[in-house]
Amino acid sequence: MKKFLPIILIIFSVAVIQAQNKIAVTIDDLPLSRIRYYEKDYYQLVTDKLIENLKNQNAPVIGFVNEYKLYTDSTLDESKVKQLKKWVDAGFELGNHTFSHPSANKIPIEEYKQDIIKGERITKEFLKTAGKEMRYFRHPFLQTGLSLEVKNEIEKFLRENGYKIAPVTIDNSEWAFSFAYDKAFNQHDSVLMKKIGEDYINYMRDRLEYWEGQSEALFGRNISHTLLIHANPLNADYYDELCNMIRAKDYEFITLDEALKDEAYQSEDRFIKSGGISWIHRWAITRGKGKDFFGNEPETPKYIWDFTGLNYE
Ligand SMILES: [Zn+2]
């Protein structure tokens, strides 16, 4: 035993030195992004596939709900409510993403507050039945207000209503890939769908590495990250590949609760510009970092913008 001791010590110290990277997966726009554009059979199929894959990964996730997606022509649609129920039944934590996905930068604060409350009705009831609570709020477009007054007022309102803000560090344009993926699907172009899927994973690897670098630059270490993706057909097909990529970068999947225990999230955020940007950059801007700190973000391939006709800003 004695002769093995140095080896054991070496293995132990390497394990201590190489603390595993940590990441929490957060999924927006439940029950399904762009559900109103899909036929019933299709949104049922995609929801089932996405939830099945999420469960198979055994990694915690939190989903953020827009209850306006439960309506068809202003009437509550039971088949859409059923899709939300699937998330609850799968045991996932759910948070509030407002009712109708407005920007805090664009509507009066009172309207915004009402939209938050309107957005919790059905989900809260479901969670209650499951013995759970709604604890987190995600700002639509990650837009948090154009003045400190508005930003602080929203934060106060959220606190008073039992919500904690769910920040995002690994910001990305996955939503644009998803839009392109849907368009390729509608054109029955499976070759393009495959290209978009593969490019999506490579792009997300680049983004992850970029934010690791920015975290190192700001905090001198890789903080516990919060990843934003959406409930969509792209992730229904590529969630396994996404998780494999993240695991290959030596990440452990943790809950949002655990991620926010990282003291980095106590950093001051006085960001009041229009962009829906990563909290790492909000903290950096608040700390007065100069222009050279920012930039060089891995870009979404140009063909994605061209094909979708979407505009980056
Ligand atoms: Zn959203």
Q: What is the pLDDT of residue 295?
A: 87
| DSSP secondary structure letters along 122-170 | HHHHHHHHTT----EE--GGG---SSHHHHHHHHHHHHHTT-EE---SB
Q: How far is the CA of 77 from the centre of ligand 1 (A)?
A: 20
Q: How far is the CA of 29 from the centre of ligand 1 (A)?
A: 5
Per mean pLDDT, which range of 35-44, 199-208, 302-311 is the poorest? 302-311
Q: How far is the CA of 124 from the centre of ligand 1 (A)?
A: 18
pLDDT band at 18; cut points 50, 70, 90? low
Whether the predicted pLDDT of 16 surpasses 80? no
Q: How far is the CA of 115 from the centre of ligand 1 (A)?
A: 14
pLDDT band at 280; cut points 50, 70, 90? very high
Whether the predicted pLDDT of 116 surpasses 70? yes
Q: Could you tell me which CATH class the domain 20-308 is placed in?
A: alpha beta
pLDDT in tens, 63-76: 999 999 999 999 99
Structure tokens at 279: 């909290």
pLDDT band at 84; cut points 50, 70, 90? very high
Whether the predicted pLDDT of 23 surpasses 90? yes
pLDDT in tens, 132-183: 999 999 999 999 999 999 999 999 999 999 999 999 999 999 999 999 999 9
C-alpha separations of 282 from 143, 197, 261, 290, 293 in Å: 11, 30, 18, 13, 12
Q: What would the mean pLDDT of 35-42 be, rounded to a whole number?
A: 97
Whether the predicted pLDDT of 312 surpasses 80? no
Residues 6+ apart with CB under 8 A from 228: 26, 28, 142, 168, 170, 171, 172, 174
CA angle 303, 312, 256 (to 5 degrees): 105
| DSSP secondary structure letters along 21-89 | EEEEEEEEEES-TTGGGS-HHHHHHHHHHHHHHHHHTT--EEEEE-GGGGEETTEE-HHHHHHHHHHHH
Q: How far is the CA of 136 from the centre of ligand 1 (A)?
A: 14
What stretches of 187-232 show up as alpha helix (H) in DSSP?
Answer: 190-219
pLDDT band at 311; cut points 50, 70, 90? confident
Average pLDDT over the chain, rounded to whole? 94
Whether the predicted pLDDT of 277 surpasses 70? yes
CA angle 49, 24, 205 (to 5 degrees): 80
Q: How far is the CA of 3 from the centre of ligand 1 (A)?
A: 57
Q: How far is the CA of 102 from the centre of ligand 1 (A)?
A: 9
Q: How far is the CA of 159 from the centre of ligand 1 (A)?
A: 20
pLDDT in tens, 216-258: 999 999 999 999 999 999 999 999 999 999 999 999 999 999 9
pLDDT band at 9; cut points 50, 70, 90? low
